[in-house]
Chains A and B, each alone.
Chain A
Amino acid sequence: MVGGVSGGIGRYFGIDPTLVRIGFVALALLGGTGLIVYAAALLLVPLDDETAPSPSTPRDRNLALGLLVAFVVIGIVVGGGFGFAFGGALGPLGFIALAGLAVWWLVSGERPTGSPGTVVRRAAMGVGLLVGCFALSVASFFASGLGGGVVVAAIVITAGAGLVAAAFVGGARWLVLPALAIALPLAFVSAAGIDLDGGFGERQERPGTLAEVKDTYRLGAGELVIDLRNVDLPAGDHPLSVRIGAGHAQVIVDRDVCVASKAEIGMGAVAIFDHDSGGIDVDWRDTRRASGDTPRLVLDGHVGLGLIEVSHTRDTVHHGPDWREDGAVERNSACVTS
C-alpha cells in the first residue's frame, strides 16, 4: 500500500504488516473510515524503510492514551456518521476493539504485540474492562438517582481505601478505572441534582377541575405534560411544583393565566413562553404579578437534566423565542406589565 504505512506500523508494534493491511482494508470497506485513518498515519507514522524509535514505557503509555482518545473521537465523528450508514455496526465495533486494545495497553503495560491470538486476547481484556466499567457507571447512575446515593458514596470511600491498601501490597493500577466508573456518575447525579424517583416514561396529566390539580407532579425520567387548559382557575395564586429527574416537562395553561416561575436546572434549559435560559446550574427566577381578577400560576420547577417549559399550546419542544411553526410568539400576556 502507499507510503509503507502498514509496514511501518507493523514494525513499530512488532506485528505482521499483513494484519495491519487487512485492518485498513476492512475499515475502508466499513464506511471509508480506514481511508481517513490511513491518511493520518501516512503523515504521522515513519515509513517502512525508516527506523522507528524504540518505544519506552512512558512513551508507550502516552501513545496508548493518545490512541484511545483518537479512537473514541474518530469512532464518534466518523463511525456515528457515514460509518454507520455504509458499514452498519461493524465499523464502530472495530473502533471499540481498538479502544479495548489501547485501554489494556494503558492499564497493564502489555503492548499490542505478539501473535494474533495474543493481540485478540488483550483486546478482549480491554473491551471487557470497558464494558465492565460502563455497566458499573450505569448501575451507579441509577442507584444514585433512585435514592441509593449514600450507599454508592460509601462504596466510593471503600474503593478509595482499597486503592490505598493496594498501594502497599502491590495491587493493579487498573483498579482505578472501576473505582472512577462508580464515583463519576454519582458526582454527576449530585451536581445536577437528579432525582429519578417518580417513574419512567411518558405521562400526560389533564385535570378537569381545580380539585384534580395536584400540588406536586413528579417524574423520574421521560416526558411529563401537565395540561391545565381544562381547569377553570379562579383569581389568586395557584402553586404548582414540577420535579423531573431527566427529560422534558411541559405545563400548558390558558392565555388568561399569568405565570410566575422559579426553577432550578442542573443541566438543561427553562423556557417560559418567550423567555428562556439554559446551561448548567441554571437558577431561574421570573416574578410576575397578576391583576386582581386574573389567576396566577406560581410554578416551582426542578429539573436535574433536561427541559421545563410553559406554553399555551402543545407544540414542538422549545427552540428559541420564535419556535412556533406558525410564527406566533407566545407571551406571558396575562400578567401585569410593570
Chain B
Amino acid sequence: MRHARPDRLLLVAGCVLAAFGVVLLLDRTGAIELSFGSMAPMAFAVVGAVLLASGLTRRE
C-alpha cells in the first residue's frame, strides 16, 4: 500500500511556526527576553526555511 507524500511546504511551515510559538511562549513566561535584535535573525531563518521547503517541493 502506497501512502501519499505529505505536503512538504505545510510540514516545514507548521514545524517552524510551532517552534516559533515555543520561543514566544518562553518570552511571555519570562524565561527569555526577546528583542528586535534577536528576533530579526529568527525571522530570516523562518522565511528561509519556508522558501527552502517551497523550492524543494517544486523540484519534485
Contact = CB atoms under 8 A, between A and B. Distances in A.
Contacts of B38: 191
A145 B13 CA distance: 25
A171 B7 contact: yes
Contact of A281 (B13, B24, B36): B36
B50 to A, nearest CB: 8
A258 interface: no
Contacts of B29: 150
A304 to B, nearest CB: 11
Q: Is the interface of B mostly helix, strand, loop or mixed?
A: helix
Given A187-B24, A187-B43, A161 B18 contact: yes
A183 B28 contact: no
Nearest to A159: B17
Contacts of A175: 10
B18 A149 contact: no
Interface of B: 4, 6-11, 13-22, 24-25, 27-29, 34-39, 43, 58
A179 B17 contact: yes
Interface string A136-160: 0000000010000110111111111
Given A58-B58, A162-B14, A156 B7 contact: no
Given A160-B15, A183-B20, A154 B10 contact: no
Interface string A71-115: 000000000000000000000000000000000000000000000
A191 B39 contact: yes
Contact of A164 (B11, B21, B39, B43): B11
Contacts of A170: 4, 7
B36 A173 contact: no
Q: Is the interface of A mostly helix, strand, loop or mixed?
A: helix
Contact of B21 (A144, A160, A171, A266): A160
A162 B36 CA distance: 27
A274 to B, nearest CB: 27
B21 A157 contact: yes
Nearest to A157: B21
Nearest to A161: B18
B6 A168 contact: yes
A150 to B, nearest CB: 5
Contact of B20 (A150, A156, A267): A156
Nearest to A155: B21
B25 A154 contact: yes
6 tightest A-B contacts by CB?
A160-B18, A163-B14, A156-B21, A160-B17, A164-B14, A157-B21
Contacts of B16: 160
Contacts of B37: 280-281
A199 to B, nearest CB: 21
A37 to B, nearest CB: 29
A171 B35 CA distance: 34
Contacts of B10: 163-164, 166-167, 171, 173, 175-176
Nearest to B28: A149
Contacts of A152: 24, 28
Nearest to A168: B6
B43 to A, nearest CB: 7
Nearest to B17: A160
B8 to A, nearest CB: 7
A186 interface: yes
Contact of B24 (A153, A164, A176): A153
